[in-house]
Amino acid sequence: MESSSYRIPPPPPPPLPPESAPEGPIHPGSGRVKKIGAIAAGAGLLLLKFGAKFKALIFLLPKVKVLTTASTMLVSVAAYTLIWGWQFAAGFVLLLLLHEMGHVIQLRREGIEASAPMFIPFLGAVISAKSLGDDAVAEARVGLAGPILGTIAAASLIPIAIVTGNNLFMALAFTGFLLNLFNLLPVVPLDGGRAMAALSPAMWFVGFAGLVALTIFFPNPIMFIILLFGGMESWRRWKHRKSPEGEQYYRVPPKTRAIVAAVYLGLIAVLAVGMAATHLERSV
Number of folded domains in the chain?
Answer: 2
What span, in angstroms and rounded, lies between the C-alpha atoms of 108 and 115?
A: 10
Q: Per-residue pLDDT averaged across 72-89, rounded?
A: 93
Instruction: Please say if the pLDDT value at position 146 is more than 60.
Output: yes
Report if residue 227 sits inside a domain. yes
Q: What is the DSSP letter of 129?
A: B
Q: Which of 38, 59, 80 is the last residue of a domain?
A: 59
* Separation of alpha carbons 72 and 197, rounded Å: 31
Is 143 within a domain? yes
Is the confidence at residue 268, as pLDDT, over 70? yes
Distance CA 219, CA 121 (A): 18
pTM check: above 0.95: no
Residues 251 and 143 in one domain: yes
Q: Residue 263: is it exposed, middle or buried by C-beta count within 10 angstroms (0-12/13-18/19+)?
A: middle
| 3 lies in some domain | no
In a domain, 138, yes or no: yes
Is residue 32 included in any domain, yes or no? Answer: yes
Percent over 70 (pLDDT), the chain: 76
Same domain, 271 and 156: yes
Residues 42 and 162 in one domain: no
Q: In terms of residue numbers, what domain contains 225?
A: 129-278
Stretch among 10-24, 112-126, 180-194, 255-269 having the lowest mean pLDDT: 10-24
Domain boundary among 44, 59, 74: 59
Q: Is residue 210 assigned to a domain?
A: yes
- Of the residues 16, 43, 59, the one at which a domain ends: 59
